[in-house]
């Protein structure tokens, strides 16, 4: 049983709160045996979303467009008219100086991680570039969308349609539901040189986690003949102590695990990937973290976040933590066991005496500055 390490003291001349903390541990199953699927903490490299982009014109605005003073919009309108067979007169773009119903916009569309096929329709988003006051009621003129910069000027899709402003607070940003139509297949390649790479998500990226994933895969796929014929089976590593040529998974760093596709699966990599991602791993023990959202007033504390010996003085409350508290002011639950104080116990104690959340957040930040917070503090 964990020993009490938090103690409120009394100081003459000030009213101080006295409280007791009782820690109860209730669990249905041993957390050490909690299992998590690989697909929930990592993905296969190559399965990333891709953004298409382009510049277009919104027409049909009720006088809320860029106006004749924004020359890029006027030049773009003149070019579009010429491409449509409507020649500009001798006055050039100046003839369009009263076109207040037009706005120059940036258009983007995100192709999902799984890719898309020619003819698929996806949502696109439109944002004003110039002096337009609102895009409400406008319609996007047919706009070509290109791929990533490395792809050059290759057109992947066309976008058009009526705009809908989702948030009145941001009237110059709008959405077109299924307004982007793909003109080419967008297939994401997830194998390279008969290998796949598992990408661990940012919240679980850790050298220990990467190594555990590699060992899990290697313990389920092993080479019994050392000739390249791999077999699936539960249990532990077999025959690798002397010859490690049968190992197919290798942790490259804390974020990537490289896995060779067995010969039997070279023609059906999807089946191999599904089996790998379906494997279960003991819940990873990542670095201790405290996540604070000051705007929302929330504090999320990992169960393993500890704090060193400190004295917290807040208004009419003084709280001491540590393992060397005076005997006359402290009675341990288990005098034979000494552990570092848990941050969650300190926060529970402060909540018990109704310390405001903003003050608790400041106390946590001060403990971190003091070097007594044994974990990573993330402030959002």
Residue 24 scores a pLDDT above 50? no
Please say whether the beta carbons of 180 and 157 come within 8 A. yes
Q: What secondary structure does DSSP assign to 52-69, as a single string?
A: EEEEEEEE--SS-S--TT
pLDDT digits 0-9 by tens, 53-106: 999 999 989 888 887 777 777 778 777 777 777 776 666 666 666 678 888 999
Same domain, 114 and 153: yes
Task: Based on the fold, state whether residues 61 and 171 are members of the same structural domain.
Answer: yes
The count of domains in the chain is 3
Q: Which residues contact 273 (CB under 8 A, 6 or more apart)?
A: 44, 190, 196
Distance CA 280, CA 302 (A): 22
Same domain, 275 and 303: no
Residue pair 248/166 in contact (Cβ under 8 Å)? The answer is no
Q: Tokens standing for 211? A: 């190594």
256 three-class SS: strand
Asked if residue 332 is part of any domain, the answer here is: yes
In a domain, 83, yes or no: no
| pLDDT tens digits, one per residue of 192-244 | 888 999 999 888 888 989 999 999 998 887 544 444 444 455 433 333 332 34
Q: What range defines the domain where residue 135 resides?
A: 50-71+97-182
Mutual angle of helices 343-352 and 357-369, in 10-degree steps: 150
Q: Are residues 12 and 121 in the same domain?
A: no
pLDDT tens, 305-331? 888 787 777 777 777 776 555 544 433
**C-alpha angle 20/26/28, rounded to 5°?**
175
**339 and 253 share one domain:** no
Q: Of 261, 282, 303, which marks where a domain is finished?
A: 282
- Domain match, 205 and 178 both: no
Confidence at residue 161, expressed as pLDDT on a 0 to 100 scale: 95
Position 301 scores a pLDDT of 80
* Residues with Cβ within 8 Å of residue 190, at least 6 apart in sequence: 44, 45, 46, 47, 196, 269, 273
* Same structural domain, 172 and 60: yes
Q: What are phi and psi of 38, to 5 degrees?
A: -60, -35
Same domain, 366 and 291: yes
236, 264, 282 - which closes a domain: 282
Identify which of 336, 339, 343 has the alpha carbon closest to the alpha carbon of residue 302: 343
Query: How many CB atoms within 10 Å of residue 242?
Result: 6
Instruction: Give the domain-ending residue among 182, 217, 248.
Output: 182
Residue 375 in any domain: the answer is yes
Q: Are residues 105 and 142 in the same domain?
A: yes
pLDDT at 342: 79
Same domain, 268 and 313: no
Task: Tell whether 88 is covered by a domain.
Answer: no
- Tell me the per-residue pLDDT of 245-270, one tens digit each, with 9 for 90 and over: 568 899 999 999 999 988 888 888 98
Residue 24 lies inside a defined structural domain of this protein = yes
Looking at the structure, tell me whether residues 233 and 300 fall in a common domain: no
Mean pLDDT over the full length of the chain: 76
CB atoms within 10 A of CB 181: 18
């Amino acid at each position: 049983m964990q020993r009490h390490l938090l103690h409120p003291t009394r100081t003459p001349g000030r009213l101080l709160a006295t409280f007791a903390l009782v820690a109860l541990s209730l669990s249905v199953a041993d957390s050490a045996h909690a299992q998590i699927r690989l697909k929930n903490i990592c993905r296969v490299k190559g399965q990333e979303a891709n953004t298409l982009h382009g510049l277009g014109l919104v027409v049909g605005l009720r006088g809320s467009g860029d106006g004749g003073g924004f020359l890029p919009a006027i030049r773009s309108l003149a070019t579009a008219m010429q491409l449509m067979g409507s020649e500009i007169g001798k006055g050039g773009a100046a003839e369009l100086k009263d076109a207040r119903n037009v706005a120059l916009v940036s258009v983007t569309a995100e192709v999902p991680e799984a890719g898309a096929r020619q003819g698929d329709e996806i949502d696109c988003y439109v944002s004003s570039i110039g002096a337009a006051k609102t895009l409400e009621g406008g319609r996007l003129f047919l706009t070509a969308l290109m791929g990533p910069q490395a792809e050059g000027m290759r057109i992947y899709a066309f976008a058009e349609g009526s705009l809908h402003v989702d948030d009145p607070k941001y009237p110059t940003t709008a959405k077109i539901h299924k307004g982007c139509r793909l003109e080419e297949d967008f297939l994401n390649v997830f194998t390279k040189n008969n290998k796949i790479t598992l990408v661990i998500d940012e919240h679980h990226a850790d050298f220990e986690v990467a190594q555990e994933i590699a060992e899990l895969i290697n313990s389920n796929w092993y080479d019994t003949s050392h000739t390249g014929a791999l077999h699936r089976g539960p249990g532990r590593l077999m025959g690798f102590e002397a010859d490690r040529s049968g190992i197919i998974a290798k942790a490259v760093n804390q974020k990537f695990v490289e896995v060779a596709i067995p010969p039997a699966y070279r023609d059906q990599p999807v089946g191999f990937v599904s089996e790998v991602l379906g494997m279960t791993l003991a819940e990873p023990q990542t670095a201790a973290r405290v996540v604070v959202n000051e705007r929302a007033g929330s504090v999320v504390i990992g169960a393993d976040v500890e704090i060193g010996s400190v004295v917290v003085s807040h208004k009419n409350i003084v709280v001491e933590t540590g393992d060397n508290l005076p005997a006359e002011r402290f009675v341990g639950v288990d005098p034979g066991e000494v552990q570092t104080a848990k941050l969650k116990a300190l926060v529970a104690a402060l909540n018990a005496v109704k310390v405001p959340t903003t003050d608790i957040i400041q106390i946590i930040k001060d403990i971190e500055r003091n070097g007594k917070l044994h974990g990573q503090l993330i402030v959002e």
